[in-house]
Chain A
Amino acid sequence: MDFLRPASWEEALAAKAEHPTAVPIAGGTDVMVEINFDHRRPEYLLDLNRIGDLYEWETGEESVRLGASVPYTRIMENLRAELPGLALASHTVASPQIRNRGGVGGNLGTASPAGDAHPALLAAGAEVEAESVRGTRLIPIDDFYTGVKRNALAPDELIRAVHVQKADGPQQYSKVGTRNAMVIAVCAFGLALHPETRTVRTGIGSAAPTPVRAKVAEDFLNAALDEGGFWDNGKIITPSVAKQFADLCAAACNPIDDVRGTASYRRHAVGVMARRTLTWTWESYRGTTLQKGSVA
């Protein structure tokens, strides 16, 4: 094994181009487990810890450009206002020790269906900034997850940052597990209200081969909210609408039975979380967003 220690982003890209099989290591909270248990013996480890740019974020007009290695702890502490869904999801990851090291770049690199960042990114809207010596591209988050633990990165590409849409309304994240800390999601659900476009977006974790959005459910809800004038009148969402939304979210799942839960339990739980997160965010929209007169 070789340990490559690039001191700059350019050096890292050059190293990845030269050794496309090199395994990047950021927080190491996925990679080191695999090495410790001898599940993986990469020829090259590509250490990203010395690249300071990856630990920084910039808040722009529309989005936050979140460096790939910004640890979850930083997201929770500093980006709660801009990225509430991702901040909530970050707080559910493992333990303080893991959150101090792990970040969204590694979560995307692993692309586990159970990764907690994914539902939040899907619901908020995001693009992955992938770069290689050949150039930079922005991959829409909807196109990023290509299979179980597979993503759209080319062998010579690294994730530089994630551009996450700044929240324009309330967001929520909900996760089912056997306890609060240190738990891989049995399933998870992210929901974001986007009052500016009058849309609702979702993200489902651990209930399909990849993280997915419940697009049919979103379309249904967007139409129902529109028809009923809900965005303007701020009325409580009709229980039948909430129920149908929940059912459609459950239907968007394609889960499996495994040690953490059965497929039917996952489907059920996703429906429950969909209804709850919709209720929570809508209450918050009615209570604060609407009061402030943003919708006149």
Chain B
Amino acid sequence: MRVNFTVNGRPQEADDVWEGESLLYVLRERLGLPGSKNACEQGECGSCTVRLDGVPVCSCLVAAGQVEGREVVTVEGLAEYARQRACGTDACGMSHVTRDTSKNWQPKPPSDSHTGEGTELSPIQQAFIDAGAVQCGFCTPGLLVAADEMLEHNPNPTDADIREALSGNLCRCTGYEKIMDAVRLAAARQGEAV
């Protein structure tokens, strides 16, 4: 079947999608967006977390057909998403999100809001780097999407809030302390910026 939906602000069409296929598979294997990771395919690890109409979900548990007509944001689009949020959609005069309908669309540097290629990092991404919260990096995309969403709704999270918001994301490397640091850092910087 064919599925039409929006990914990181750009209309996408996926063809020959198997009816039982997950959104994660479509993103990674059909749309060339490997940022969302596949580790468990059963909702346990959160490394495939994306936003579906704004809501964080495990993309491995969403059937591709269920996203028809809906909006998905992946880690690749997070920086642009955060930028638009920070300055209000039009104020910053961005949005030259080109409507590229070509199926064989390729990432084109220097800057692309769809793949995230060459764009500036979002505050949460920068905080993860600065706090040393990335080791192997496999869990990072899912954590970034989940943490960014929490900070959107809760700019001053307690440690308990952070733990709860990230309780669906597993990390096998860091022991989570640096991840906590990163989110606290992003929250603090967000506070300063206002």
Residues on A lying within 8 angstroms of B by beta carbon are: 1-3, 5, 25, 27-29, 31-33, 35-37, 41-42, 45, 47, 49, 94-98, 100-101, 180-182
Contacts and interface: CB of A to CB of B under 8 A. Distances in A.
A32 B57 contact: no
A100 B1 CA distance: 26
Given A1-B20, A182-B168, A28 B66 contact: yes
Contacts of A180: 167
A218 B41 CA distance: 42
Given A28-B62, A32-B60, A96-B56, 10 more contacts: A1-B20, A25-B66, A28-B63, A33-B42, A36-B22, A36-B42, A45-B20, A94-B168, A95-B167, A96-B165
A37 B60 CA distance: 11
Query: Which of A31, A95, A97 counts the most chain B CB atoms within 10 A?
Result: A97
Contacts of A28: 61-63, 66
A25 B66 CA distance: 9
B19 interface: yes
A49 B68 CA distance: 10
B65 A181 contact: no
A37 B65 contact: no
13 contacts: A27-B61, A29-B58, A32-B61, A32-B63, A45-B20, A45-B63, A45-B65, A96-B146, A96-B168, A97-B43, A97-B56, A101-B58, A182-B44
A95 B46 contact: yes
Given A28-B61, A97-B146, A47 B167 contact: no
B164 interface: yes
A97 B63 contact: no
B19 A45 contact: yes
A47 B66 CA distance: 7
